[in-house]
Amino acid sequence: MFFRFLFKPREPEFVLEGDIRLRHLGPRDAAIFRDHLHELHYVDFRDRFNGLVSDAWLETYIARSLDNAICIGAFLGDHLLAVAELHTGGSLGEHEAESAFSVVSDWRRKGLGTLLIRSLLKCATENDISTLIVETGPQNQAMKALARKFGAKMQFEGDRSVGRINVAEGLRLAGRRRAFAPLPAAMPVPVELPAGGLPAH
């Protein structure tokens, strides 16, 4: 099984798209990530996880994602509105990653999915990932439309709709659509300082 350590930026990069702020999520964000997923309406939750899942399964999923994957959150104030995830390893190839997205139901179709996929593509290229895989239910028109915007051709694979985004091409398309705005990068996970602060040198 292939395992890759993902590079999560440590230097602060401030991102403001209107009032929306992006930052990387880490293990300390488990509670807000859980709240965010519970905020999805029934159909959106089902689309996100391809069905319903138990609370115990969800807890394990959240912990694993925040530990191992790159997770980027979009916030309005303290409210986590949307999350994009970049997962590697398992049966994926060395330069492949699988993506997942969730936008709270009242904030759909306002461009948050687009904002996050652009940020995810940037993270992918920084991690030497050339293919971003999008997998969803065939009924999920929103996810298929989002993936197609970035060059994916969605095709049936079994009972799923699967698309592959070429990361370089996706970034090119992102740049073409937003000629005057910088690509969003997410702020890093807040670093926990030792009690008494950092040692002086």
Ligand X SMILES: CC(C)(COP(=O)(O)OP(=O)(O)OC[C@H]1O[C@@H](n2cnc3c(N)ncnc32)[C@H](O)[C@@H]1OP(=O)(O)O)[C@@H](O)C(=O)NCCC(=O)NCCS
Number of residues forming the site for ligand X (CB under 6 A) = 22
Exposed, middle or buried: residue 119 (CB in 10 Å: 0-12, 13-18, 19+)? buried
Question: 145, 153, 155, 157: which one contacts ligand X (CB under 6 A)?
Answer: 145
Question: 69, 121, 143, 162: which one contacts ligand X (CB under 6 A)?
Answer: 143
Q: How far is the CB of 19 from ligand X (least distance, A)?
A: 15
Hey, which residues between 11 and 70 contact ligand X (CB under 6 A)? 44, 47-48
Q: Where are the beta strands (DSSP E) in 53-175?
A: 70-76, 79-87, 96-103, 131-136, 155-157, 160-166
Q: What is the largest CA-CA distance in the chain?
A: 59
Strand partners, 22: 74
Burial 75-114 (b: 16+ CB within 10 A, else e): beeeebbbbbbbbbbeebeeebbbbbbbbbeebbeeebbe
Question: 81, 146, 167, 189: which one contacts ligand X (CB under 6 A)?
Answer: 146
Minimum CB distance to ligand X smaller for 18 or for 197: 18
Enter the tokens of residue 141.
């028109």
Q: Tell me the C-alpha distance between 24 and 54, whole Å.
A: 26
Q: Which residue is nearest to ligand X (CB)?
A: 113
Minimum CB distance to ligand X smaller for 65 or for 127: 65
**Under 8 Å CB-to-CB from 156, ≥6 apart: which residues?**
138, 162
x/- track of binding to ligand X for residues 81-120 (CB under 6 A)? -------------------xxxx----xxxxxxx------
Minimum CB distance to ligand X smaller for 61 or for 188: 61
Question: 4, 34, 95, 149: which one contacts ligand X (CB under 6 A)?
Answer: 149
Applying CB under 6 A, which residues contact ligand X?
A: 44, 47-48, 100-103, 108-114, 136, 140-143, 145-146, 149
